[in-house]
Amino acid sequence: MVDIMEPKKKITIIGAGPGGYETALAAASWGLEVVLVSDSPVGGVCLNEGCIPTKTFCRNAELLDNLKDASEFGISTGEISLDFAKVIERKNAVISQLQGGIEFLLKSKNVRFVRGRAELKDKNTVIVHCSGSECPTKEEGTAAGESTEEIVSDFIVIATGSVSATLPITGADAEGVVTSREMLSLDSIPQRLCIIGAGVIGLEFASIFNSFGSEVTVLEYCKDILPHFDTDLAKRMKQALGKKGIKIETGAQVKAIERADTGGSLSVIYSKKDMDLSTEADKVLMAVGRRPAVQSLNLDAVGIEYSPKGIVTDSDMRTNVPNIFAIGDIRGGIMLAHAATFEGKRALNAILADIREGSPEEGRILDGIDFGIIPAAVFTRPEVATVGLTEEDCKDKGLKIKCLKSMFRANGKAVAMGEADGYCKIITDAEDGRILGCHLFGPHASDIIQEVAALMNKKATIDELRDIIHAHPTLSEVILSAAGI
Ligand code: NAD
């Protein structure tokens, strides 16, 4: 890429998750002078306490499951045990390695990283509060203490993410009640784990700790697990998790958590079909969603439109203050790392267009990103993956559709792997055959879904999919099988 402007325009990005740091790197590549501010290490929630650390746990779970099943493959093992301290140590090493990679990239592109808490002063000024050794502008000889820096720039991108939500119930703050963050740094594996919420986070931890040997109970308020996913998929997935020994109660409203005076046991009290019930646990994971981190930014000082649900933007990620943009979880929409990254791309494209053209223009087409096609995966065992419209979405929109299905038990590779539990559903427009969505669970579902996402981006039809030669034997053939002849 080339420098497109002289003198250099300045951009300050608040938040160093996959939204913020990727946008910082891209902005620097386009010749902008970039400052990246974050109150936590680079990588944000995704790298430090979300996507990546849970994936290290997932790998532990997979290895353990494989070892437990080894005799079916003619392999004998001795007694299998899990050194949880080592699991945590490996997880931390993976985080450090990836942090090092991002820091290297930021340095090599001359992005200035400032560690501290940022707030807005006016539409061009960000104040950063930093303390002690974290503060790069700390005066010589100051051992610790707060200092502030004011950073003035032409554009500001807010990418400060979200925080775990908790239920406003008695006992929500009891000892032993944790969020996903603490689940990644436990001292030991809980014998009995109760998870409140059968969304993405709840089910990933349910699957991991089931493999680690915990007795897992999941309590979900809605009538199905994964409420925003295709219902048919969710029902089948519930059965698959049940077969693994995970107890899932749907239609369960959690009312309180009580801690016994002795023994440290927790009692989670919930109601189901007008009956008051309870389940006992050693740890309770609260996985009831995340909320945008809008509180500490001083958004009112600049008049940015927001609510507890997030900062309001247009489709260019621009707030009502034209030189300030917001991307990722802070917008309160789809809370996915890759969505944040691509929202950052869109925001940067708008900023570059502003610079070239002098001011924002209505209705410009900035890029080919389609935010209606965002693949998503749940890293349970088996994995869940989804893209596009669900059957329920199609019904709501009054679309005439066809649903095409296949099972992993008819897929040679899956059967050979001993992982044949799973299914695939492709939804097409009944009139022109365009692929509208795909929902599957099974081995490597998170990788398989990319093919359908690519086809949907190219507005492909089911006939066009049928013409694509797929290698045999591969798991991706499950897509071709669903498409049929
Ligand atoms: P979520 O919205 O996916 O699920 C929360 C669940 O809690 C819902 O099913 C909801 O019905 C349930 N719930 C709410 N109140 C309840 C109550 N009183 N009793 C019982 N159940 C209750 O939220 P999450 O799982 O916390 O995840 C937060 C965000 O992080 C999501 O947007 C998710 O997409 C994202 N995330 C994504 C990944 C991934 O892509 N693999 C991984 C982790 C998190």
Residue 2: per-residue pLDDT:
47
How buried is 3 (Cβ within 10 angstroms: 0-12 exposed, 13-18 middle, 19+ buried)? exposed
Q: From ligand 1's centre to the CA of 164, what distance in Å? A: 9
Each residue's pLDDT tens digit, 217-265? 999 999 999 999 999 999 999 999 999 999 999 999 999 999 987 777 9
Residue nearest to atom 16 of ligand 1 (CA): 221
Q: How far apart are CA 334 and CA 343, in angstroms?
A: 11
Ligand 1 in reach of 201 Cβ (< 6 A): yes
Greater confidence (59 vs 359) lies with 59
Residues 6+ apart with CB under 8 A from 135: 115, 116, 147, 149
Mean pLDDT of the chain: 94
The DSSP secondary structure of 392-413, one letter per residue, reads HHHHHHT--EEEEEEEGGG-HH
Residue 17: per-residue pLDDT:
98
DSSP helix/strand/coil, 52: helix
Ligand 1 in reach of 335 Cβ (< 6 A): yes
Amino acid symbol at 311: I
Each residue's pLDDT tens digit, 120-155? 999 999 999 987 555 555 444 444 567 899 999 999
Residue ranges of E strands in 143-206: 146-152, 155-158, 162-164, 177-178, 192-196
Bridge-based pairing of strands 117-122 and 112-115 is unpaired
DSSP-assigned letter for residue 328: G
The pLDDT of 264-292, averaged and rounded, is 96
Residue 54: per-residue pLDDT:
98
Does residue 359 have a pLDDT over 90? no
Each residue's pLDDT tens digit, 191-202? 999 999 999 999
Does residue 448 have a pLDDT over 60? yes
Q: How far apart are CA 387 and CA 279, in angstroms?
A: 35
Q: How far apart are CA 277 and CA 255, in angstroms?
A: 10
Ordered by where they begin, the domains of the chain are 10-48+92-163+291-357 (3.50.50.60), 166-288 (3.50.50.60), 382-483 (3.30.390.30)
338 in catalytic set: no
The pLDDT of 100-116, averaged and rounded, is 97
Q: From ligand 1's centre to the CA of 378, what distance in Å? A: 11
Question: Which of 288, 291, 381, 447 gets mutated to test ligand 1 (max ligand atoms within 8 A of its CB)?
Answer: 288
Each residue's pLDDT tens digit, 1-40? 545 566 789 999 999 999 999 999 999 999 999 999 999 9
Ligand 1 in reach of 202 Cβ (< 6 A): yes
What pTM, to 2 d.p., does this model score?
A: 0.95
Positive/negative CA dihedral, 283, 245, 59, 81? positive
Q: From ligand 1's centre to the CA of 220, what distance in Å? A: 10
Atom of ligand 1 nearest to the CA of 222: 11
Does residue 178 have a pLDDT over 70? yes
Ligand 1 in reach of 257 Cβ (< 6 A): no
Ligand 1 in reach of 290 Cβ (< 6 A): yes
Q: How far apart are CA 360 and CA 350, in angstroms?
A: 8
Q: 44 — alpha (psi -120 to 50), left (phi > 0) or beta?
A: left
